[in-house]
Amino acid sequence: MIVTMNRIPINAEYGAQFEETFRNRAHLVDEMPGFISNQVLRPTSPGEPYIILTQWESRQHFEDWVHSEAFTKGHAQSGSLPREAFAGRNALELLEIILDTARPDLTPEPHGQPFNPHG
């Protein structure tokens, strides 16, 4: 299993609009094979980014999503926020789950290569 963590810096005055974008998201990812969950985390400290976590059964499932037509459609509405809503560039991280106390039977994700969203 893997988790993606997308850190998105949002200017405070656009926080509510950013959150609303996720509440009204297309939900296309929910239908993808291997998709487990999506969490939107609001920062508690000023200047910290929002964090979007997704959990997947495998890295391959996530990469299939990234290269799908559904991904392109699902992210089309992210352009609905003005440029000034963003306080900087996002940072996407791909993390391999090696231990989950809620799932003691979990087989750790094999150690993979660095993630290249364009490759």
- pLDDT of 4 > 90? The answer is yes
Q: Is residue 109 within 8 Å of 23, Cβ to Cβ? A: no
- Assign a CATH topology to domain 2-96: Alpha-Beta Plaits (3.30.70)
Give the H/E segment covering residue 62. Answer: helix 59-66
Q: Is residue 38 within 8 Å of 29, Cβ to Cβ? A: yes
Q: Is residue 2 within 8 Å of 110, Cβ to Cβ? A: no
In this prediction the pTM is 0.85
Q: What is the pLDDT of residue 28?
A: 87
Q: CA of 82: how far to CAs of 76, 92, 111, in Å?
A: 13, 20, 38
Label residue 115 exposed, middle or buried (CB < 10 Å: 0-12, 13-18, 19+): middle
Q: Please, which pLDDT band fits residue 106 given cuts at 50, 70 and 90? A: confident
Q: What is the pLDDT of residues 69-88, one digit of tens each?
A: 988 887 775 667 899 999 99
Question: Domains of the chain: which residue ranges?
Answer: 2-96
